[in-house]
Amino acid sequence: AFSPFGDITTLMVWENDILDFGTFFKLFIPAVVNFIVPASIMYFFIPVGQPALPDEGDANIKPGGLFIVLLFLATIATSIFFHQFLHLPSVIGMLMGLGYLKMLGHYLRIKFRRENHSFDMVPGSEGKGSAFDTFSHIAKAEWDTLFFFYGIIMSVGGIGFMGYLTLVSEFMYGELGATTANILVGIISAVIDNIPVMFAVVSMNPEMSETQWLLVTLTAGTGGSLLSIGSAAGVGLMGQAKGFYTFSSHLKWMPAIALGYAASIYTHLLIGHAL
């Protein structure tokens, strides 16, 4: 939550020019508190040891792998530069990064096409497309999850068009107050999902101070983790780790996560002198 690229919710706030890039780093200490509190509690209940790894020999990085890591950093830098200095949408920088990757992949395919390299593949990926075919990985994406977010954001946009978001904004931020409303945003995010909830808040665009916008960024980004269905990471993990990570397995840790959520809010308000 302390970086525009840390979560889609923070990216929404930065993309709409509500907060500057460097302002998000004020959430670093509250974010650390939000991590340390539940992690310290869970430490005493998780069995000591490490998961068994498949016996696949020594893992090697494929040719060009380190350069791809550098391109990832270059993509983030490009997005920041485009948005901060050229006032262009950050998505253009992300698409530029995709162009970086495709050009590198084309170069690697040409360079290593006639050479016989022996490097370890990810278990189960042998023979499934080229080693540098990025589209084969995109095809494995959780498209049903992506369409879910697309549909629910369209629904929120329609509700805003009809004026209901204005009524909700007047009640939450007018009657309850900004601090209470922003804390509730995090709790609602755990049930509905933090992405559409944050999209609704950004669409409302209530008049708030920098401290309060940082608070709603913190609560929406971390409050969604109270339940497994409250964040894109949780929904995606349930799809990838079926049978291991479930709604009920996450639910038993909710008290520890809620304690970290409350502690991070208190820390942020204490730092922001808003108590």
Domain locations along the chain: 8-51+142-271, 61-119
Give me the pLDDT at residue 56, please: 59
Q: Which residues contact 105 (CB under 8 A, 6 or more apart)?
A: 132, 133, 134
The model's pTM is 0.74
* Least trusted range by pLDDT, from 102-106, 139-143, 224-228: 139-143
Which tens digit of pLDDT belongs to each residue from 146-178? 787 778 778 877 887 888 877 888 888 888 888
* Residue type (1 letter), 46: I
Extract the tokens encoding 2: 């302390």
Distance between CA atoms of residues 127 and 169, nearest Å = 53
Contact 23, 213 (CB under 8 A): no
Q: Which helix (H) or strand (E) holds 29?
A: helix 28-43
Chain-centroid distance, C-alpha 163? 28
Which tens digit of pLDDT belongs to each residue from 183-220? 998 888 888 777 888 888 888 888 888 899 999 999 98
Give me the pLDDT at residue 57, please: 57
Helix (H, G, I), strand (E, B) or coil at 57: coil
